[in-house]
Amino acid sequence: MTQRKNWLQRLSGWFLRPSGQQAPQKAAAGARRHKAVDGASPPSPPKSGKLKAVASEDGLLGQTRMRQRVSRAFGASQPVQERQGLCGRDRKLSELLDGVRFRHNHAVICGPRGSGKTSLARVFGDYADEDGAVVLYMAGSDDASFDELLRPYLKQIPEACCSPGVKQEIMVALEREKLTASSVVDLLTAIRYSQVIFIFDEFDRITSPEAKAELTTLMKLTSDACLKVNYVVVGIAENLHELITAHASLRRHLTIVSVEPLADEAIGRILSDCFEKSGLQCDDKAAAMLTAAACGSPYHARLFGMHAALQAISERERLVQRRHVRDGLRGAFNEWRAGNPEDAAIFEQIASTGAEERSQIVRLASHAAYRHAGSPPSGAIPREEPIDPPPALRPSLETAESFPIFRDSLAPQFLLIAMEMGGVAPPDHRMEAVE
């Protein structure tokens, strides 16, 4: 809640201020607060305001290489690959390790799109693996049956986990039978020598109700049989709610980890790490602006940061400044529009007509951005006074209730951009040389 208020204070008016203009007191104070309150250390600006382009980056090829380097460094579509790259999730990692490794619970990792569920699951897997567990990772697919989901996991169980010769029996059984929860439990009794952790990512993509129900039964039967097997199910909150409520008694075998928005400090670290990898720098105000626009989402932070960086290199600058962020946010909006033209059109229309409900819409969008998509099972997010969605926005929402959910859970940050920009003009790709 406090974060959301800060967002509004920090962001308000920044996008529209022409570059070079003196920042008003509020914005400067916002940037200082970012550092003091959150302990953030946003990237420091270089001593000289404008850095010269180096000779090797001149020309079309040089620009292309720089753009590639930037997009690799920000990697908005790639989950975090290494534990060092995972910012602000230490507490979540220890909850998972305690729950799964030491209490032998199953775990549920839930959160909105792009919040870092897969990244957390992978890094957890890395730690569990180092600690002696066997971790098998798979992602769900749309119309997969229970059998299709489980078969690849069972094939991957290492022989060393089982009594001698038993892996061979599993393979033979897999040839013969169609898998059900109880037949899988029978096969898993063969696992004796180390804990095996199955990570099911993208649980929300599984559409078959039978597959979901069978998976829940499998979790329950596995716990009841005290097997050395645990499951980590990953997905957006709403869908996992189904899983948890299907078997009331499963609840006590579960560690539920909801992936909440990251603190500004962690977002600041992600950005400074990405800028460093890109070979660029970002001044404090630009970094604070990106942090505010991301609303705690690592995906949005990387996407917005990347677009700001691309704007800077299109001007042959190595210092990312507020004007690059402004243009970059427009660029990010346009990229998002390509995947979701309906909502983009609604947002632009709402923003450009200067709707009377402006503050209402901003409040609603920032509430949605900081809140989980769907109700987190833990009910961790505090409720506040209801917000009535304006009729023009309703087609973009899944429910028209007091705490609406956007049908595209990545959307609220883009609505805020549209509101702040008063509509989104195409970004200015200044590809020509700047003297």
Chain residues in the site for ligand ATP (CB under 6 A) = 75-76, 78-80, 85-89, 111, 113-119, 270, 298-299, 302
Nearer to ligand ATP, 38 or 57 (CB): 38
Work out what residue 88 binds among Mg ion, ligand ATP, none; the CB cut-off runs from 5 to 8 Å by kind: ligand ATP
The phi and psi torsions of 257 (rounded to 5 degrees) equal -120, 110
Residue 115 engages Mg ion in binding (rule: CB under 5 A): no
Q: Which of 78, 116, 74 is nearest to 290 (CA)?
A: 74
Return the range that interacts with Mg ion (CB under 5 A); candidates 29-37, 95-103, 113-121, 410-418: 113-121
Nearest position to ligand ATP, beta carbon: 116
Nearest approach, Cβ of residue 353 and ligand ATP (Å): 32
Nearer to ligand ATP, 87 or 419 (CB): 87
Return the range that interacts with Mg ion (CB under 5 A); candidates 89-97, 110-118, 263-271, 289-297: 110-118
Nearer to Mg ion, 204 or 315 (CB): 204
Work out what residue 43 binds among Mg ion, ligand ATP, none; the CB cut-off runs from 5 to 8 Å by kind: none
Nearest approach, Cβ of residue 117 and Mg ion (Å): 5
Q: Which of 63, 105, 115, 118 binds Mg ion (CB under 5 A)?
A: 118
Nearest approach, Cβ of residue 139 and ligand ATP (Å): 9
Nearer to Mg ion, 112 or 377 (CB): 112
Nearer to Mg ion, 112 or 412 (CB): 112
Return the range that interacts with Mg ion (CB under 5 A); candidates 64-72, 118-126, 209-217, 365-373: 118-126
User: Judging by beta carbons within 10 Å of its beta carbon (0-12, 13-18, 19+), is residue 430 exposed, middle or buried?
Assistant: middle
The residue count for binding Mg ion (CB under 5 A) is 1
Q: Write out the residues near Mg ion by the rule CB under 5 A.
A: 118
